[in-house]
Amino acid sequence: MRILDIDLDLFLYAYDGLSHDREDNNNVPFEEERVRQFLEKRCGLSKEKPIEGVLVQQHHEAFLYWEELVEAQRLTVPFEVVHADMHSDLYTMSYTYILGELMHESVGNRVGKMDKSKLHFSNYLVFALACGWINHLTYVTHYDWDDNDGLSDIYFRDFNPESGLLHLAAYNPSEISSYSNFTENKIKSDKNRLNIPFNTIDMDDYQNTVEFDFVVLCRSKEYTPEESDKLIPVIMEYIKVI
C-alpha cells in the first residue's frame, strides 16, 4: 500500500529550513494553479476521484493517523511513503531513545512500547521506520533544496545519505549518547537492523505512476505564512475525509 504525505510548506517559493512566527514569515506561497499542477500532473491525483485522507496541524499526527489505520486493518504493514515536504522529517531529536532503547524491542512490540511523548514533527518518520511500518521512503524535495539537507547521517547505511538505504539498528546507549562521538567514529550496529530503500527527487521531476491509498496534508504553521492557508481547501478537493 502507498501513502502520499504532503506538507503545505512545500508550496512556497523560497526554500527555508527554519521555523518562524507566522506574522514574521515573508515567504510567498505558490499560486493555486501551480499547486493543482503538482497534485494532478506529478502525483496523479484527481478531484473527480479524491483519495481518502486527513488534514493534520502538526506532522507527527500523521503517525497517529497511520496507527489508527493499521489497528483498523485498513493499512497493511509495511507500506510505501512518498513524503513531499520542504523538510525531511528525519531529524535527530530523540535519536538516543529510538536507537538506544526502542530498537532493542522486537519489531512487533515497538509501537506498543514506544514513548509517544518523544514523537515530534521532526522525527515521526524515524519512529515509523523504527516500527517497521515503511518498506520504501521517497522524499520529494523542494526545487531549491540543498542536497542532503536534513538527512541525518546516523540513519543511513555507512553514514552516507547517498547510499540509497536507511539503516536503523539497536545500539549501546552509552556509545551513542554523544552525537559527535557517534558520527566521527561511525559506530555501527547490525542488531535488530532495518534497511529501507530511500531516494530523493525534485518536486519538478517527480512522476507518480501508481495510485495512492491514503493522503496526509499537514498545515505546519511554524513553517508557513498565513497566506498559505488559502491553499488548504484547494488541496482538500483531492482528499476524501471520512
For 53, the 3-state DSSP assignment is strand
Domain boundaries, the chain: 2-241
pTM of the entire predicted model? 0.97
For 74, the 3-state DSSP assignment is coil
**What's the rounded mean pLDDT across residues 196-223?**
97
pLDDT beyond 80 at 141? yes
Q: What pLDDT is recorded for position 21?
A: 79
pLDDT beyond 80 at 183? yes
Q: What pLDDT is recorded for position 242?
A: 84
pLDDT beyond 80 at 17? no
pLDDT beyond 80 at 199? yes
Joined together, the cell numbers standing for residue 213 give 491509498
Phi/psi of residue 131, nearest 5 degrees:
-80, 0
Q: 16: pLDDT confidence band, cut at 50, 70 and 90? A: confident
CB within 8 Å of 171: residues ≥ 6 apart = 99, 100, 103, 187, 189, 191
Parallel, antiparallel or unpaired: strands 79-84 and 165-168:
unpaired
Q: What pLDDT is recorded for position 26?
A: 87
Joined together, the cell numbers standing for residue 67 give 496507527
For 29, the 3-state DSSP assignment is strand
